[in-house]
Structure 1
């Protein structure tokens, strides 16, 4: 029964990943569009005989021809825009933005609507030519086609509005911030994914479960692991956090207690390999550090000599500071672990601050305006209620100040930065 109870959470998590894949949405909408054709004939059978003469079959044929011709052109244009935006964001901001561009809901829904409408028109034309849908049964098909046209027009309007900001710097940074905020909120509501915080090493004598491949830890499904650990009477320790890079045959999990026979070990190995998902790139799911790292890379790229945009770096610093202000120590949560037999590494304040600001502090060391904003934001975080975040912010602020003073060559800039740092400390 416990195993069955864990399925909905894992399936829901996997379903969320599936619906972000473009071809899945296109396939679903295409199938719905095709199924609407026989549905229209079912509706046709219920219509009074006097209404069937209101619309001729040629009217339906003209509408279907319009949809088939227009949707092929519009779909090609939309795909070109998406590919161009993908390459532009990768070259101008960071390749890590490509994931969010590919998973953009408005873009995917628009393409699914266009391709689905095209498939609908093609199938309907074929059925009309084969006399499956005769002129006497065209009224419901006409109504369905008009509804499809209305959906297309609405999608076009939404798409044109979306194109105004798609791939822009502000919108891209906002997308990363929004995704990271969602992951932070989910992590704060379920500290350590509902598991026990792993603050020390696994007990001596624990059995090691090796990684089956080399890659990043992308997702952890805690529910099946807890169910099996409870059944076998053991504890599962995950020494690597989400987003960490592990090598094949390196320790992926440690198992302590419970049955140690070959059957139990095999079951544990299969469960851990299935529910600690490895991949060739980091993802935003369950990984707020990756979002902060991406923001930092956007700011760092803006400070490159070819772009030299300090304003973007300052905007990124503000966004990262806003995200970090919601941080809470997972080891101090008053919530009881929902998975008491599973141990997961908590988020570390020092690592979060480093992910967000290190690259900007390095590449913007000689830019006084950027360094002043770093001191201001870190000064604000130095007054955060969490002690670990306060210490991390103070340590990084001192480190960034020393680096900037060494990089700034003009004495007045050095003096201004010192005054800004002292002013921030004074308010703390």
Structure 2
């Protein structure tokens, strides 16, 4: 009898430890070559790591070779348990690729029907290195938990492989993480100043849109550059895929939102700024409206009334759960590399005071412009607390606490932005 009990315990232990679940590292022998299911020209296997280094010291890694077939050739692994996205909504994977700029599609599938199975969802990431290990990430925020079991990997998606080294990919360490780091979910009003909140910006309209959150001692804010080759509808979503913590309570009698806007690098006023709110789980449930800038090189509050929907878009439907907001700058027109859009203090129902952002640009005079060597700064009666210099890409290249002049003699010719006291920005041309 004791022998039977020991046998049952041993079998249960074996079954427990042989289940394929996340994370996957290929070191424990749970996932082997036999666990890869290939399709349309892809071949997956587990091999000795041919590129052991400090970035990936593992002895074993996964390998997929793409040889003929279709542009979506790849291989997949089926988990024994459904993926839990309750907290850890990002999937990460260590990748070794032959070139940068290659699309890696990570698809998740359920178990309804033969492959390709339903339900299904997919995300894309792009390699950035040549013959080096790097970690790629795919955000599955907003996806249901306990739904997906198949990990479908498609490297260099969109191209047909030839079986050579340029069609060979290595990967390792497939694991989940919480992108918020345990911070609170974003909600209105959005100020970018609460260190306990997870702020996120997601650009759209191709890769030629650059957005980030700028940190300053007088308050943080969002920044966006819409390049000349970006889509005319390019913009930025103000949350991750999970959306806001609470619905935006828009009704026909309480229909207004407000955003602080600052446009620099352009002398134009009347720039259309579109604000769209939607259901993060159903993008067809949305409403959008527009407002127009009235000044340049200064903060202003734009009012967005969703009773006045933008031309060609759906009217307000109060029954929709609005949980996501997106901003489109200069909607419908091509962008440029000189105009920078700043945004902050997104609120519903009533605007947030401009506060320090309302400092007048007339308080400062910068000359000569264009400049060859020294840029003089006349601050009249205003105290200069700090000066930051940014290049055309928005990267800070110089900072000082106070100065009446800037030595720009060593700067390359081009356009720069000089920001004073974190509020006022001047465009400077360096000869």
- TM-score by length of structure 2 reads 0.25
Larger Rg: 1
Higher relative contact order (CA 8 A, sep 6+): 1
- TM-score by length of structure 1 reads 0.25
